[in-house]
Structure 1
Amino acid sequence: MTIIKTEIPKNSLLKTNNMTYDYIDSFQGEYIDKFQNIGTTEIGKSFFSSGPKWIDKLFAFRNKLIGLFGLKTSGTITNRQKIIDNFKGEKGEQIGLFKVFDKTSNEIILGEDDKHLNFRVSLFIVKQNESKTNKKLIISTTVKFNNWFGRLYFLPVRPFHILIVPTMLKGIIKDIERHNGK
């Protein structure tokens, strides 16, 4: 499976708000939607359920560390699978640190606003014209620093982020194809 660095899609909700960002990245992978039934809700569920264990450990470490500074943490989710199973991807819905900010038929925007920085994650489905079943998934991340601490916080996060996002994208694609009978 090939994951490539790309740009935020031109018609992404992240571009329509005329917001400027301090950090942007986008990664793209392809998948097969055999039954044409994978939408943004299913992609969102896979985003929350398909990450490798080492990412969970990094988030746990992050939560312990930044909790000391009074920043938002994802908290302890006791029944994660039940929450994911009931996830509808509706505006305002939240799983851990990620709140749904917006949703269309081909994109869901997740993220959080905190005192040090605001971030958004776009999960954007690109339907291929030549094939109804071959699709692309683009994960774009934007960060807006609210103060100097946001910049400082993001310095050690950035190298991990560049590793985590392509790994997450591969996991999402494997998960949706597995559930889709590929």
Structure 2
Amino acid sequence: MRPFPVSVPENCGQILPSADFGDAFAVDVIDTAMSAPQAAQLAFSQPPGWIAKLLALRNLVVAPFGLKSGDELDLSTQHRGLPVFSSSPERIVLGLDDRHLNFRLIVDVADLNDATLRVTATTLVQRNNLLGRVYLAAVLPFHKILVPALLSRLIRPA
């Protein structure tokens, strides 16, 4: 099964209470031992070349605006490039606060049955100013392609 859009889980609202954008994608995988941090690592680490190139382009474009590129982050509190806000076997919350917007990426895992796990990646965004609104509008079409593409990396043959 391929990744699919789902409603933002209700229990995500308290993570970034002032979020004014949210979406979520899920994928069902044959694995009941995977934790949320493991799912995040498998899905979001070492992205395919086309995604790495898009991120490099993003960093070039935002540099003149003084936005964080990832190079200046504290590596001791990161999980595959993003600061960790909280982590448990069932959920990891990653994100970043910047001048233009704050965002959280929440990866949840839940057992569907004895052999299948549902992994949900939820994105919440709080736009802080006009630049944040423009930025989100510019990256949203890519986001809706990237997140499912990265989640599809969790699918293993039966």
* Shift of residue 41, structure 1, vs aligned partner: 2.3
The runs of at least 4 consecutive aligned structure 1 residues that moved more than 6 Å come to: none
**Residues 27, 166 of structure 1: 8 Å contact kept:** yes
| CA–CA distance in structure 2, aligned partners of residues 17 and 163 of structure 1 | 24
Aligned residue type for 1:71: L
Distance change >3 Å, CA 41–CA 74, structure 1 → 2 = same
SS in 2 for 1:68: helix
- Name whichever structure is richer in strand by fraction: 2
* Consecutive unaligned residues in structure 2, runs of 5 or more: none
Asked if 1:139 is matched to 2:121, the reply is yes
Asked if 1:15 is matched to 2:19, the reply is no
Distance change >3 Å, CA 117–CA 164, structure 1 → 2 = same
Distance change >3 Å, CA 74–CA 151, structure 1 → 2 = same
* Consecutive unaligned residues in structure 1, runs of 5 or more: 77-82, 84-89
The count of residues paired between Structure 1 and Structure 2 equals 156
Residue aligning to 1:122: 106
* Shift of residue 26, structure 1, vs aligned partner: 0.5
| CA–CA distance in structure 2, aligned partners of residues 141 and 32 of structure 1 | 24
TM (norm. structure 1) is 0.77
* Shift of residue 51, structure 1, vs aligned partner: 2.7
**Residues 41, 80 of structure 2: 8 Å contact kept:** no
**Residues 45, 80 of structure 2: 8 Å contact kept:** no
**Residues 16, 104 of structure 2: 8 Å contact kept:** no
| CA–CA distance in structure 2, aligned partners of residues 93 and 162 of structure 1 | 24
| CA–CA distance in structure 2, aligned partners of residues 49 and 24 of structure 1 | 22
Aligned residue type for 1:74: G
| CA–CA distance in structure 1, aligned partners of residues 43 and 35 of structure 2 | 12
Percent identical: 31
